[in-house]
Amino acid sequence: MAEDRTIADTRGAGDGLPARAGKYRITGRVGEGGMGVVYRAVDEDLGRTVALKFIPEHLAGDTAAGQRFLREARAASALDHVNIGTIFGVEEMDDRRRFIVMAYYEGQNLSARIRDESRPMAAAEAIEIAIQVAQGLSEAHARAVTHRDIKPSNILITTQGVVKIVDFGLASMGDAGQLTRTGDQLGTPAYMSPEQVLGAAADHRSDIWSLGVVIYEMLTGRRLFASDSVPAVLYQVVHGELEGVRRMAPAVRAVLERALERDPDRRYQSMAEFLRALRGLEEQTAGMGPAPGGDETLVAPQPAARARKRRFSGKTLAAGLALIGLAAAGGTLWVQRPAGPARPAANPGSQTPSAYEKYMEGLALLKRWDKQGHLDKAMKAFTDATALDPRFALAFARLADAQRIRYALTRDRSWLDAAVKNAEEANRLNPELSPVQVALGRVHAARGNDDLALAALEKALQADANDADANQAIARHYEKLGRLKEADERYERAVALDPDNLGARDSFANSLFRRNRYDEAITHWQAVIRIAPDHAPAHVNLGSALSQQGRIAESITIFEKAAELNPAYMAYSNLGTAYSRAARHEDAVKAFRKALDIDESDSMVWGNLASVYSWMKGKDAEAKDAFARAIGLAEAARRDDPRNAYLNADLAGYYAKTGRPALADERLNTALTLAPQSAEIQVVAAEVNEILQRREAGIRHAKRALELGFAAARLQRNQDLAGLMKDPRMRPGQ
């Protein structure tokens, strides 16, 4: 039988693989995907052609990859359906490298069929292929198997016209454990369901979404979601308009719109239900010709152009906050992002004067959310504005900003959920406004969806390149992604655009602080205090920078001023850290206790208190109790945010200090994997290894911290590293 080179490549095995694999003689390379390399081979015992799928060399040692590989075999081998590729078994080479033995099919994959310009796909053919895919998936779902990676390249069309679904490498089974960390994205971006993009639980309805996207591509020859970057594609999946679907013939449109509902509860609830709808289209598409190019029988006439949405040209306020623990330094830092003065816009974005008045009232309050009661009043004002004008996109965006700040202060997830809801509503109402995209980007970042955050913030800058808030927000994101030169450029631009913008200066100062550029950070925080002398958070941050420079006496004075301005728990926590560095342990305990009297939910403050107790004579019991509280709170936070490197590092230190080396190593390895270039986490690694009496490893991590810019003076002040720093191997040049 003639071979089709869209599916079989006869250039040889390649990839360093031998010509044989047990009883199989390898004759060609079929292709490669994220979870395996596939070869054509001959089973010499049975005389039949098969396909062999091997884990790629770079994943061979990855336990999770191996589990997914075997999961594919288990998932697909449990299925027996004409539209699902057959799995014969799993075998092993002499070097113990495993491979899946699969049926080999002559033909081409759907991706190649769609791209075949010599034979444009008719609508009837597209629906027939979709029906066969739905039949196979319906059988898989009936056996509690969800594919999770439906896309054209995973759909084969044999020379007899039979459709075969292959590559169950990302399949989930009803009784299978979770193989990925929370928030991991699996699948191919353009075909992923919104819940997959957002890291939420994805069930069989995710396959319904993906098949809907594939059907659109078959009918039009174009991808529904296409852009020049992965973040932009993911943004479209979650937020993009489905204009192409809305231009389709009414019957087709109705079926696809339901399959592509972003809320899974509003989609078809089973593949069987979707299959019935597709079969209902067979007669209606029978006479339709090739779809690509906008065939009039398939694509409805273009509607009249909509009136362009109004743009908001004035500069407005956006604020945010994050709490960051610096476990290696034994201190805390209050990082805030209030923004500059609100300025009336030429177009307020609302035709309801009372709504606009409430909005401006909220902006003024949000500018100084650090003052007692301002944040609650700001949320009330924005809520009133949205009630007075339910189409006021900016009011929804600012309400989301305020709720995100409340979440950062309290870590109460309900506030973040509310912020997400309001940011998405603002985006639905008017996605062209820069402040709307800034709010959306920030809530995505708070949820750990970095790709979506980046796409939204890039869109904000496209809408208004001179928005100081947008420049500041994307600068913070660039820093998070390690794009430090771009981050500095955007921070500097934000400050230049609005020199009195408290948020831009404070955020830039925090970035400089995180990179040990203390002199520059101090300059910006001093500027914030000149603009707002009663700004307690700026005093806290300034005191932290002075403390990191070893200017302990000055930092204590600043922290005491901060506590006087606003006796909040963070001011007392930082004051406690400064006292501990001055070896004023009794004062440190009192300050930490005051912080915990105000808010006892911060694991870092409990950890700092525990460390001070551990340095004091006769306080072992108190240290043990405080470490237990720190661990309980930190583990609870880690369950919500498992990819937070600093939380994992904090926990590694707590476990090491309480004599649990296995847990200490587990959390430390996670932290180092998540943030290998973090000097602070390298210091935690030095501490953990020193506490666990592994001096050589401790020295290695301490030296790495110095290479990454950690100040030697800070290591010298670290009481947990006192012995290590006296080791001759820590001398310069050693």
Neighbours of 260 (CB within 10 A): 22
SS3 482: coil
Of the CA atoms within 13 Å of residue 251, those in its CB half-sphere come to 15
> What token pair was written down for 234?
């993911």
Q: Which amino acid makes up residue 329?
A: A
Distance CA 635, CA 606 (A): 13
User: Is residue 122 within 8 Å of residue 288, measured between CB atoms?
Assistant: yes
Residues 469, 85: Cα–Cα separation, whole Å: 52
For 146-192, give the DSSP string: E-S---GGGEEEETTS-EEE---TT-EETTPPP-S-TT---S-GGG-
- Catalytic site residue 488? no
- Report the C-alpha gap between 130 and 140 in whole angstroms: 15
Report the distance separating Cα 54 and Cα 237, nearest Å: 31
Give the residue from 576, 580, 591 showing the smallest Cα distance to 615.
580
Cα 417–Cα 420–Cα 421 angle in degrees, nearest 5: 90
Token digits for 160? 């007899």
CB 102 within 8 A of CB 87: yes
CB 585 within 8 A of CB 612: yes
Q: Tell me if 630 sits within 8 A of 603, measured CB to CB.
A: yes
Cβ neighbour number for residue 359 with a 10 Å cutoff: 27
Distance between CA 581 and CA 579 in Å, rounded? 5
Question: CB–CB of 647/634 below 8 Å?
Answer: yes
Could you give the CA distance from residue 52 to residue 3 in angstroms, rounded to a whole number?
17
Catalytic residue among 95, 149, 599, 620: 149
Helix (H, G, I), strand (E, B) or coil at 14: coil
Q: Which two tokens stand for residue 40?
A: 């054509």
d(CA 263, CA 243) in angstroms, rounded, equals: 18
User: Nearest 5°: phi and psi at 48?
Assistant: -115, 155
- What's the angle, vertex CA 534, arms to CA 530 and CA 538, rounded to 5? 70
- Which residues have CB under 8 Å from 626's CB, separation 6+? 606, 607, 609, 610, 613
Any idea which residues carry the catalytic annotation? 149
